């Protein structure tokens, strides 16, 4: 049986037809309206994309990999910041572009980006807040090294970082290596990810702060590929772990002007360029040699990274900008183990000598490292060398009887981390212990400026000797 339509049905159909015609008219009008769409460029930052009814092609500037890349549309002209809608960081998905010439194979089936592109970062301040931010505001970040023990000192230092993060609002955290004692991780599902990282640095006020680690020698003792793969395929997504490649660069704007370029190296891999395989006595000339993966640490891999580093350092910087190199192994250190390692592992000594020459040649402002579980500031050829390896593992002894002539300051009495504040002229570093107490403050000048600080420190030491 076919149902007949009565008068009520006809009235309803007429009303529906009217609504459809009205919607068509409204849609035609809206197509002419300028719409602002927020770009989900990465976890930890926003970049507005301006769009009309026609798709605008996006352009990526070829600079450094970062958590806050600038994504620009070629048209139409920008709209004022008050129209931008900010997407909460917890809803954004990380997008990374590799800056190193090679990337190791991931432990899962997902492919990593292979093109050696670099993405220009924007200021860490969201668009809405930019207008109210003081032009003299510093760029702020945390650093921590040699933390990955899972023990009480690491937990206490992480708690202090959580507390101060809510007050200082860092743009990022730099990890200086040895993220997982004693032998790295097995894969991206290793329980250590939760025990020694996620539960400590991806929660509370630190949850949306990107963590950029360098790879340490202990990290190299197992699955190095998993350290990179976790960035893209973490079972704990969203994660703030950011290792887009074993070595890479990133750039951040300094609100008062200029920018800071971070060059994150793989010290153990770079050391491969200086190995002779064995010492005269037949023993390996580098630490943990039997545990290292040749594809990441042999001579060919080392020379490839060295070529990348030299090419990166040759690129010009804007006036007032900083260049900071990060690695796990120190170039200079006043610890007892530093001199012993030079004798026991000749490849390390050759690596240090070459890197020191390279950093001075290209007038790098500072080199940050861990490995030696101390805090130190040294100056050589105008470059500031900053050791910060007190994030959680046992502290190392300093050679106070035979201190380095390059030493300005050193300490090995506390576990903790550092807060860095940067302007165009100086970098202030505050060292906090695991109770959250301020232990020391340094003011690091740009390239060449530390020579005066070194002279003052040497004069002070000489005065103390004279008064004895």
Euclidean distance between CA atoms 153 and 161, whole angstroms? 12
Lateral strand order in the sheet of 416-422: 211-213, 173-175, 139-144, 416-422, 426-433, 438-445
Euclidean distance between CA atoms 76 and 362, whole angstroms? 40
Euclidean distance between CA atoms 68 and 49, whole angstroms? 14
| Tokens at 116, concatenated | 């050696």
Cβ neighbours of residue 363 closer than 8 Å, sequence gap 6 or more = 323, 382, 383, 447, 448
pTM: 0.74
For the chain, give the number of residues.
468
Closest CA to 211 of 324, 365, 43: 43
Beta strands in 304-374 (DSSP E): 322-326, 366-369
Euclidean distance between CA atoms 446 and 450, whole angstroms? 8
| Tokens at 101, concatenated | 């010439």
Contact between residue 446 and residue 184 where contact means Cβ atoms under 8 Å apart: no
| Tokens at 327, concatenated | 């690695």
CA dihedral for 119, 123, 126, 128, sign (positive or negative): negative
Closest CA to 393 of 418, 368, 415: 415
Task: Establish whether the linkage from the previous residue to 76 is cis, with ω within 30° of 0.
Answer: yes
pLDDT at residue number 136: 64
Q: What is the CA radius of gyration of the chain?
A: 26
pLDDT at residue number 65: 36
pLDDT at residue number 137: 75
Euclidean distance between CA atoms 263 and 362, whole angstroms? 13
- Map residue 360 onto helix, strand or coil: helix
Distances (CA, A) of 404 to 159, 359, 380, 407, 410: 34, 19, 11, 5, 11
Euclidean distance between CA atoms 220 and 166, whole angstroms? 33
The parts of the chain modelled with pLDDT lower than 50 are 1-13, 16, 20, 24, 26-133, 465-466, 468
Distance between start and end Cα atoms, the chain: 115
Euclidean distance between CA atoms 305 and 101, whole angstroms? 8
Task: Establish whether the linkage from the previous residue to 416 is cis, with ω within 30° of 0.
Answer: no
Name residue, tokens 């009565």: 6
pLDDT at residue number 22: 59
Euclidean distance between CA atoms 170 and 139, whole angstroms? 8
Spell out the CATH class of 127-464: alpha beta
Contact between residue 84 and residue 48 where contact means Cβ atoms under 8 Å apart: yes
Cβ neighbours of residue 288 closer than 8 Å, sequence gap 6 or more = 217, 218, 220, 221
Contact between residue 272 and residue 299 where contact means Cβ atoms under 8 Å apart: yes
Annotated domain spans of the chain: 127-464
Neighbours of 28 (CB within 10 A): 9
Contact between residue 240 and residue 44 where contact means Cβ atoms under 8 Å apart: yes
Provide the Cα torsion 260, 274, 387, 343; round to 10°.
-170
Contact between residue 220 and residue 181 where contact means Cβ atoms under 8 Å apart: no
Contact between residue 335 and residue 398 where contact means Cβ atoms under 8 Å apart: yes
């Amino acid at each position: 049986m076919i149902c007949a339509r009565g008068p009520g049905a006809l009235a309803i159909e007429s009303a529906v037809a009217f609504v459809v015609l009205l919607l068509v008219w409204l849609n035609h009008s809206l197509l002419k309206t300028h719409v602002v769409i927020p770009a989900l460029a990465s976890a930890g930052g926003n970049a507005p994309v301006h769009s009309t009814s026609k798709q605008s092609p996006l352009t990526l500037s070829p600079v450094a990999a970062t958590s806050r890349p600038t994504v620009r549309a070629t048209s139409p002209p920008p709209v004022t910041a008050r129209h931008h809608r900010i997407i909460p960081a917890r809803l954004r998905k990380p997008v990374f572009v590799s800056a190193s010439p090679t990337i190791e194979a991931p432990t899962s089936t997902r492919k990593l980006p292979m093109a050696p592109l670099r993405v220009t970062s924007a200021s860490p301040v969201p668009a809405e807040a930019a207008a109210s931010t003081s032009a003299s505001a510093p760029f702020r970040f945390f650093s921590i090294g040699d933390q990955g023990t899972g023990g009480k000192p690491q937990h206490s230092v992480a708690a202090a970082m959580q507390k101060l993060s809510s007050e200082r609002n860092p743009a990022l955290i730099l990890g200086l290596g040895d993220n997982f004692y004693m032998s790295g991780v097995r894969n991206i599902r290793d329980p250590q990810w939760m025990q020694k990282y996620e539960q400590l640095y991806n929660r509370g006020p630190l949850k949306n702060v990107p963590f950029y680690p360098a790879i340490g020698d202990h990290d190299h003792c197992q699955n190095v590929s998993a350290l990179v793969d976790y960035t893209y395929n973490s079972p704990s997504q969203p994660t703030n772990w950011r290792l887009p490649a074993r070595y890479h660069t990133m750039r951040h704007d300094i609100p008062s002007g200029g920018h800071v370029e971070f060059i994150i190296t793989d010290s153990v891999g770079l050391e491969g360029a200086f190995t002779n395989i064995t010492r005269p006595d037949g023993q390996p000339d580098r630490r943990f040699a039997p545990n290292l993966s040749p594809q990441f640490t042999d001579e060919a891999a080392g020379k490839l990274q060295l070529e990348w580093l030299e090419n990166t350092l040759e690129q010009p910087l804007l006036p007032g900008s900083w260049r900071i190199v990060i690695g796990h192994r120190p170039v200079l250190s006043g610890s007892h183990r530093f001199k012993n390692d030079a004798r026991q592992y000749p490849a390390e000594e050759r690596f240090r000598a070459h890197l020191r020459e390279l950093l001075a040649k290209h007038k790098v402002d500072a080199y940050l490292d861990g490995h030696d579980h101390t805090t130190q500031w040294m100056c050589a050829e105008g470059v500031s060398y900053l050791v910060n390896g007190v994030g959680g593992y046992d502290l190392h002894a300093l050679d106070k009887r035979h201190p380095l002539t390059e030493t300005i300051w050193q300490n090995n009495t506390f576990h903790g981390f550092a807060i860095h504040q940067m302007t165009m002229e100086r970098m202030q570093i505050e060292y906090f212990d695991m109770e959250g107490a301020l232990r020391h403050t340094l003011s690091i000048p740009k390239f060449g400026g530390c020579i005066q600080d070194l002279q003052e420190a040497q004069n002070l030491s000489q005065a103390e000797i004279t008064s004895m």
